[in-house]
Structure formats: structure tokens, C-alpha cells
Structure 1
Amino acid sequence: MTLDELIAAAPLSRATATPLFRQLYARLKDAILRGRLAPGARLPATRELARQLQVSRQTVIAAYEQLTAEGYLRGGVGRGTFVDAALPVARQAPPAPAALPGLLRPLPERGAAMAAGMARVRYHSGPVRAFRPSMPGLDLFPFEVWRKLEMRALRRPGPHLGYSAPSGDLRLRELLCAYLRAARGVDCTQEQVVITSGSQQALYLLAHLLLAPGDAVWLESPGYQGACAPMAVAGARICTVPVDAEGMDVAWAAAHHPDARMVFATPSHQLPLGATMSLARRLALLRWATAHRAWIIEDDYDSEYRYTGPPLASLQSLDRAGCVIYTGTLSKVLFPGLRLGYVVAPPALAEPLAHAKAVVDRHSAILPQMVLADFIAEGHFARHIRRTREAYAERRQVLLDALGTRLDERLRCGPTDAGLDLCVHFRPGRDGRFPDEARVAEAALDAGIELRPLAYYANPQAGPACAVDPGLVLGFSAVGAADIRRGVERLAAVIERTT
């Protein structure tokens, strides 16, 4: 292809914000890299090319000079301008594999697992509405207080705004320790705390740090979908464990998967069924993990919100062997966009975990950590938890009352004493069959309400032992009482239409 043909195929445009010389530079560079202008090819004189393009000569000179400076062109006064003969001859890239169009080569096994790992996890989008699951009430957060604390932090610049320790801001870690000891009975020092970019990063770090390919991991099913991906990407063998009214069935897991090296558990409030792990099972899990030298990741994602008494003591507070790794998040207590979580690691694991954190992102953003430390130290954190606990308790009761009035014959409620969500199970119809939960959820979205079918939380690898009655997960914390009542009316209409 000649240069004239190249220019004709992609003419310069005066209608864009890109300068004409940059457009010409880009076209010539692309032609050289693609082999359409071969090494040693002569380019027109600047006056001639300017005439052809109907641009100023200076435009062509500027493009030629840029290409010459970058090594694409060679030439001089009286000698003409040429594509550098030393450039390798461009070869057409082989066609990409059909399964991965556009990629140079297929992803390796680990890369493919990482790219597909969170495919089943849904992300919130659009305006907040009933009954968005696992979403705190943003209308209750004191954003003006947070803004003032953030501006104050920015008015005192200094070394603290530079690079930080991978484990996170020291003052925040100290304050979190004091809070966790008082509120959750967690036995820790600030040296054991590592601040992470949310609990998802904590799971990724722990899986890759502690698991070898082929190691078995217990995962609750139904359970938190985000827990499976980090384990699978680390090469772990996923072992799904059923859940009942007492939480994870430890005896079943020990009998069927005795060689596990890690357990992921939500003992304080199981997602999505809402069960709290009984003391007998907590002690059994700790005995098993101690005997088998296995790690337990305790995900304590929303334990602040218990409505029938004070928050329960953590599993970590019962651990005497150093096998429990306690993880928490600020997404449910404050707001998800903050992206701050934490790990309380056994003392010997804290330093390796901090070094692993540095590999992933050096350290989590420092400014939000500083603001959160002030937020806690000045009492805003405790006040916010008290306020939201009261508000969520009211919203929970509104939901229970509305369901009892409109849908008691169609739905039965699971445990309701904790968390931000309510799990409801369908009652069988007169023919003994259950409604199609996926169809109900889809129709509900069309009706302007957002919920999740219980099957969403089931691990694809789970067997019959993990099966539960069909149902829905309804969040009650994100919107106020009026929206909840309207949402129940719409849900009742949807169920009537679809069953």
C-alpha cells in the first residue's frame, strides 16, 4: 500500500480536537508498525506531502520530527526522509484463539480462573431501592462530619501522607483493637492488625499466603459468593458444607472432608440463612481445626447489628491454639465505597501477611484511614453504630409486620435477630410445589424492587446435602419504612402473578 492510499483511507480531520500534526504522526507510526511502510521506504518531501494533504508544511515537519526523534524515520537535508532501515520487518500477528478474541494468547489456567472467579457475584447498580441486600442505609451516614474530618486531615500535610507501612495507619490499628476487644471480645494487639482494601482483598491475601494448590477448603453453601473465587484462584479444592439452624455443620464436614487445610465460616451471622453458630459447634470447629492444624477464617461482616441483645463474642475469643484469623469490613457499618477492611491475624502470621499485602498494593489508601481514626477517636463511630442499629431495628420490624400482614401464607421468615437482610422461604402451594424463585426475582426487578433468589448463594459445586427450600433474600437496611411497605405490596403482587 502506498502512502497516498494510506492517507486516502484515513484522511486528516479538522473537526476533532487532535492537532493535525498528531493525526499525521499517528497514521505514519501505525503504518510503519503494521508493515504497510517497510523499513527503508522513502517518504515524500515535506512540501509535496503538505500539498497533497492541504495542510501547512510546518504540520508535516512537526510529524516527521516527532517520528525521527522516536526512531521511526531517518534522513537529512538533501537526502530525503526514509523509514529507518534498522527497524525489524513487521509481521502480521497470528489470529487470536476463537475463545478469547483480541488476546495475544489464551490466558493461563490461573489467569482464566481469576478472570472468571467473580462472574457469578452481582454488583449493585442504579438507585437504592427496596430490598437491596447487604446494603447499609446511606441516608443515615454523617457525610458532612466525614467531609470536615477529611478536609482537616488535608490541611495538615506531612510525611504521614506519604507511603505508609503495609499493615496500615498505626493509630487506626490501635483504635480498632480497642473497639474489637470491647465490642467483640477479640484478643489482639495493634501488631496483629493489617488494614486491607475491603474484606475481599483480605480473603485473596490469606488464600494465596496459606494455601498450596490442591489444599481443601470448607465453604458454607449456601454462603457468601465472594469467598469462593480467591480460594479457587489459589488452586484450592472447594469442599461445600451444609448449613442448618445451628450454622455450619461441622460434624458433616469433618466426616466428608477431613483433610481440609482451611475453613471459611460466618459464625455470628450466616449469609444468607441468618443462622448463628451454636456454642457446641463453635467448640467442635475449634477442636477439629486444632487437631488438624487447619486455619479458620472468621468473617464477621455485620456483627454490630444484633437486635435481640448485645453482639455475640467472636469465635476468635475462644481460640487458644492460634488457628482463627478474624476478618472484618467497614462497608456494612459505614459505606461500601470506603473500601476498608481489616484482618486480625495470629501473632506469628501478622508480619508475613503485611508483607503479602505490600505485594498486592503496597498499602491501602492512607487518607481514609486517617479520617476513620479521627471518626472513631472523636466518638462519631460509636454514635453512628447506635443510631443505625436503632434505625435498622425499626426497618426490620416494619418489614416483618408487612410480610406478616400480606404474605404470611406464602412466605416463612428465617432468623431475624441480626444483620441487614432477612431470608424468607416459600411455603409450598396446594400442589406441594414451590414457586420458581428465579422467576419471582426477575419479575420483582421489573416491578421496581431488588432482591435475590436463595439459589444465588448456592455454590455450583454443592451436592444434595447443601440443598435448602427455595426462597428470597430481602435487605431492609437500605431504605426507609415507606419504601419497605410499598416494596412488600409490590412483592405480593409479583408472587400472585408468577405462582
Structure 2
Amino acid sequence: MFLQIDTAANTPLYLQVYQRFHEGINNGQLQAFQRIPSIRALASELNVARGTIELAYQLLISEGLLVAKGAKGTFIAQSVKNIQDHQTNKYHVADAVVSEKKDQKQENKQQYNITEYPQNIAPFKLGIPALDVFPVKLWSRLSASILREASTTQLSYPDPQGLFSLREDLARYLVMSRGINCTPDQIFISAGYCASLTLIMQSLFKIGDIGWFEEPGYHIARSYLQHIGMKLTPIEVDSHGIVVKQGEKVAPKARFALVTPTHQSPTNVSLTLARRIELLDWADSNQSWIIEDDYDGEFRYQGRPLPALKSLDKHERVIYCGTMSKALFPALRLSYIVVPKSQIAQFYSVAKIISNQSSIWQQEITHRFIHDGHFARHLRKMRNLYRQRRQYLIDAIVHNLSEIFEIQMQSGGMHIVVKIINGQSSKQFAAVANQNGFGLESLDEWSMNSSNKQILMLGFTNIKNEAIADQYCKQLREISSKMLILNE
């Protein structure tokens, strides 16, 4: 979980955590009976001592705001209902009041069983989570339970914004994990990232509008936006992220900028605070929009997690895009956006027309998965697993490919970036390797203009152990040797 604590501030860290929980309770983001992270889990997330979190929790318990229930965990106390406005659970959308009762079911006691997941994933394939450890049996049990409990009200046309209870879950998750203060009425659920882009484009833009696009950048989004008639201006990405000054020079009046600030796709660099402020200032002064794609912001392996760009959005110019494809699995086809309050009615009117949200049953299952605490546990497991699998690949590259690859180390993401240092073409290397069953990609494929950089991307999330990583890298070394012989 992400709580915006500042180690340089005069306020003690335990007091910052304490104050953050108070804010969440007062503004309704934290509700009665909701389970909160364990002391150990939150201390690990924030990279602080357990005593710091324990002291904050003890203060909250002494005030009657938290209740410790032993092995079951720590929960928001029932008494917070008395200090929250009775209208907290009602949200207005386009002058229509939408409300649902809170689900206060008892804690789900099902075990978090991990099962093998059949897959046919090419080695080093990008953007695919570790499907071999996804809790398929648990997901199946939740699915069966939801279908058994289905009522006739669930058979009608769904809310254009998506399932209300899931949007509540996402709002709580975003305020805690990504630093985004939002309410369920700001969230719209879609059937995948391109569906989210469809809703954004039809709500705010028209064919021929100019937008900044990271160079290199996510090629699927680029192809889609060009397909629907947007004019994209490539803006260079350096070690600090998108070069805002270049964008202001070549396309100062662009209507939007699509960025991946937490882990730039595909270079994995993080947008620095100075660049974030520059970008936000440009959007505010030009009345342009920033589309923030936070595709794998949950996965960071060094230091504290970075807040989303949206958390700094004082002028409401950022539209935040999240997805469950990386955190859960791609076939779920469930993504979501957070829109400024001033744009809710506009987005709602478009959402009613295009009806591009994911299956209501998948939304129900995802809600139950989050609500019962499985999602938080799954993310913690995945972070630890990816940290380990990332190291397997790094060690194998160092041991087998040190004369061919130079690792471009970054602190997060789901793939490793390497530079070919023996003079071979990255584009040709990727083509030959993929003909031999691999799934790595060259940076050239992600660029609108030829990058002339010998850069490859190698996904590590499905590398199960050291032996497999070593085997793959030995095969890449053999491919490199054969290519050198053929090119002589």
C-alpha cells in the first residue's frame, strides 16, 4: 500500500501514517469493517521500521478507530460510521443519484491456493504476468459462488460506469496504493486499455486532434490512436522521462499527451518530479489533457513505491488509466479510468452510448477478489516473486551474456532492458531469436522514428527458476555466435 510519507518532513513518520488513516476515514475512503494491511506488510511497503507502523496503529486503536482481531487482522472499527456523513455512500452522476448498500459479509476464510496455469508463452514475452502462480482454483470458487447467488437484477443492462461495488473497491485501492483521492463516481470500467482509450477519445477529442506520444512508446496504443484518426507527435524520452520542453517546442498546442510516468513503456525509466511538474504546468496553461497509463505501477523492487502522476493533479487535467491485465491476468479484459469531477457527466453520456465495459460477471468476481483481501495478498506475492525472477534473469545474463548484453538497470517494471554491445543489430537479433521460439522485442518496434539504439527488452515474469533463466541465456548466446559467423 502507498501512503504519501515524507522522510524529510518535520512530522514523525508514525504521525504521518496516523494522519493519513484519519484523512481516509474522514473523507469516507476507509469504511467500517474494512481490513487494513498488517503491520509487517505496510512497513515493508513503506520501507520503514515495524515499530513506526505499530505505534500509528496503537494510536488509532486507542481512539477506537481500529480494531485488532488477532490472526484475522486489523479492521476499521464500526464506530467510524458515527463520524462519517450518512451521504458518503451516495454519488451523483449526470444528475442521477446512484446508490448501493454496503456489502458487510464476514471475512472469506478460503485458503489462497496456488495452482498451475496452462500456458503457451514464448520465453521473454513482454507484458504477461506470472500465470503459473495465479490462484485459478480460488477464482473458480468465487465465480461459482457468484453465479449461484445471481439474482434477476443482474440480468438487466448494467450501469454504464461499471459495477458500483467494484468502483468503490478501486477508489479505496487507489487512495492507498497510488495516492489518488477519488470517489467511485469518477471511475469508469472498460473492457481493456483500448476500450478505455475509446471512451477518453470520444468524450474529449475529435478526429485530427494532435497529441504528444512518447518516443519510444507503447506501440499498440500508438497504432490504435492513429487508426482512429489522432495525429501523434513523437516526443523524446530520456533518463528523466518524456522531454516536455521538446513537446512545447514542436507541438505546443497539442490537445493531449499520453504518458507512462511510473515505468515508462518500454524503457522503464520513471518520470522525475521536475518533469512531472513541467508536464502538469503545460497541460494547465494550454488547457490540454494528460492521459496517464499506469500499466504496471504496482511493481517496484527498490525503494518506496512511486505515487501516480494523478496524485499531483491540482488543476484536474489528468485522466488516469489502470488495468487488471498486469496485476491479475490479460484475459480478464478489465481496465478502468479516473476522470476529473468536472468531466463525469460528459464521460457518462458517452459511456451510455458505446457500452464498452467488461462482463458484469467478471466485475463481480473481481470485486469479491478485492473485497475479501485476496487482491492485496496476490500483489504482495507477485512483487516478491517478480523481484526473485528478475534476479534470476539478471544473474543469467551476467553469467552467460556479459560480452553481448549490457543491462540498463531500473527499479521496477515487468521486463529488463539490455543494450547489445557486440555490434549486432537489435532488430535482427530479435527477429532471429523469435524465429527460434523466443518472444523478446527490439526497441525499434516501439519507435515512430528509427532509434538507432541497440536495445532489447526481455520479460522475466514467467521465468520460474535459475535453471530456466540460465538455459534461455545460453540459447541466446548460441544464436548470437551463429549470427556473427553468418555475417562474416
TM-score clears 0.5: yes
Q: Does 1:486 align with 2:471?
A: yes
Equivalent position amino acid for 1:170 in 2: F
- 1:300 is aligned to 294
For residues 348 and 225 of structure 1, the distance between their equivalents in structure 2, rounded to whole angstroms, comes to: 30
Q: Does 1:444 align with 2:428?
A: no
Q: Does 1:185 align with 2:170?
A: no
Q: Tell whether the 8 Å contact from 1:207 to 1:234 is kept in structure 2 after alignment.
A: no
- 2:457 is aligned to 473
For residues 351 and 199 of structure 1, the distance between their equivalents in structure 2, rounded to whole angstroms, comes to: 21
Which residue, 159, 172, 180 being the options, matches 1:165?
A: 159
Shift of 1:486: 1.3
For residues 202 and 368 of structure 1, the distance between their equivalents in structure 2, rounded to whole angstroms, comes to: 17
Cα-to-partner distance string for 1:333-376 (whole Å, 9 max, x where unaligned): 10000000000000122232233233223642100101111100
Q: Tell whether the 8 Å contact from 2:195 to 2:356 is kept in structure 1 after alignment.
A: no
Counterpart secondary structure, 1:242: strand
Shift of 1:126: 7.8
Shift of 1:498: 1.3
Q: Tell whether the 8 Å contact from 2:216 to 2:266 is kept in structure 1 after alignment.
A: yes
1:308-457 map, 5 Å: 308-361=302-355, 363-427=357-421, 429=422, 434-457=423-446
- 2:267 is aligned to 273
Equivalent position amino acid for 1:299 in 2: D
Q: Residues 456, 142 of structure 1: CA spacing in aligned structure 2 closer, same or farther, 3 A cutoff?
A: same
Q: Tell whether the 8 Å contact from 1:325 to 1:344 is kept in structure 2 after alignment.
A: yes
Q: Tell whether the 8 Å contact from 2:124 to 2:438 is kept in structure 1 after alignment.
A: yes
- 2:232 is aligned to 238
Q: Which of structure 1's runs of 4+ aligned residues deviate more than 4 A?
A: none
Counterpart secondary structure, 2:434: helix
Q: TM-score, normalised by structure 2?
A: 0.72
Shift of 1:392: 0.6
- 2:205 is aligned to 211
Q: Tell whether the 8 Å contact from 1:129 to 1:478 is kept in structure 2 after alignment.
A: no
- 2:480 is aligned to 495
Shift of 1:448: 2.7
- 1:95 is aligned to none
Which residue, 113, 121, 129 being the options, matches 2:122?
A: 129
For residues 374 and 332 of structure 2, the distance between their equivalents in structure 1, rounded to whole angstroms, comes to: 16
Q: Does 1:176 align with 2:170?
A: yes
Cα-to-partner distance string for 1:33-61 (whole Å, 9 max, x where unaligned): xxxxxxxxxxxxxxxxxxxxxxxxxxxxx
Q: Tell whether the 8 Å contact from 1:274 to 1:414 is kept in structure 2 after alignment.
A: no
Q: Does 1:194 align with 2:194?
A: no
Q: Tell whether the 8 Å contact from 1:204 to 1:230 is kept in structure 2 after alignment.
A: no
- Point out the structure with max Rg over C-alpha: 1
Q: Tell whether the 8 Å contact from 2:260 to 2:293 is kept in structure 1 after alignment.
A: yes
Equivalent position amino acid for 1:447 in 2: N
Q: Which runs of 5+ in 2 are unaligned?
A: 1-117
For residues 129 and 228 of structure 1, the distance between their equivalents in structure 2, rounded to whole angstroms, comes to: 24
Shift of 1:450: 1.7
- 1:221 is aligned to 215
Shift of 1:215: 1.9
Q: Tell whether the 8 Å contact from 2:190 to 2:356 is kept in structure 1 after alignment.
A: no
For residues 355 and 478 of structure 1, the distance between their equivalents in structure 2, rounded to whole angstroms, comes to: 41
For residues 152 and 400 of structure 1, the distance between their equivalents in structure 2, rounded to whole angstroms, comes to: 42
Q: Which runs of 5+ in 1 are unaligned?
A: 1-124
- 1:147 is aligned to 140
Equivalent position amino acid for 2:286 in 1: H
Shift of 1:468: 5.2
Shift of 1:236: 2.2
Q: Residues 275, 473 of structure 1: CA spacing in aligned structure 2 closer, same or farther, 3 A cutoff?
A: same
- 2:11 is aligned to none
Shift of 1:128: 1.4
Counterpart secondary structure, 1:491: helix
Shift of 1:231: 2.5
Q: Tell whether the 8 Å contact from 2:280 to 2:313 is kept in structure 1 after alignment.
A: yes
Equivalent position amino acid for 1:135 in 2: I
Equivalent position amino acid for 2:336 in 1: Y
- 1:15 is aligned to none
Shift of 1:402: 0.9
Counterpart secondary structure, 1:343: strand
For residues 452 and 119 of structure 2, the distance between their equivalents in structure 1, rounded to whole angstroms, comes to: 30
Equivalent position amino acid for 1:154 in 2: L
Q: Residues 362, 129 of structure 1: CA spacing in aligned structure 2 closer, same or farther, 3 A cutoff?
A: closer
> Identity, % of aligned pairs?
35
For residues 147 and 487 of structure 1, the distance between their equivalents in structure 2, rounded to whole angstroms, comes to: 33
- 1:66 is aligned to none
1:254-269 map, 5 Å: 254-269=248-263
CA RMSD of aligned residues (A): 1.6
Q: TM-score, normalised by structure 1?
A: 0.71
Q: Residues 208, 230 of structure 1: CA spacing in aligned structure 2 closer, same or farther, 3 A cutoff?
A: farther
Counterpart secondary structure, 2:253: coil
For residues 252 and 366 of structure 1, the distance between their equivalents in structure 2, rounded to whole angstroms, comes to: 43
Q: Tell whether the 8 Å contact from 1:268 to 1:312 is kept in structure 2 after alignment.
A: yes
For residues 276 and 420 of structure 2, the distance between their equivalents in structure 1, rounded to whole angstroms, comes to: 30
Shift of 1:458: 0.8
Q: Report how many residues are paired.
A: 365
Q: Residues 446, 229 of structure 1: CA spacing in aligned structure 2 closer, same or farther, 3 A cutoff?
A: closer
Q: Tell whether the 8 Å contact from 2:119 to 2:131 is kept in structure 1 after alignment.
A: no
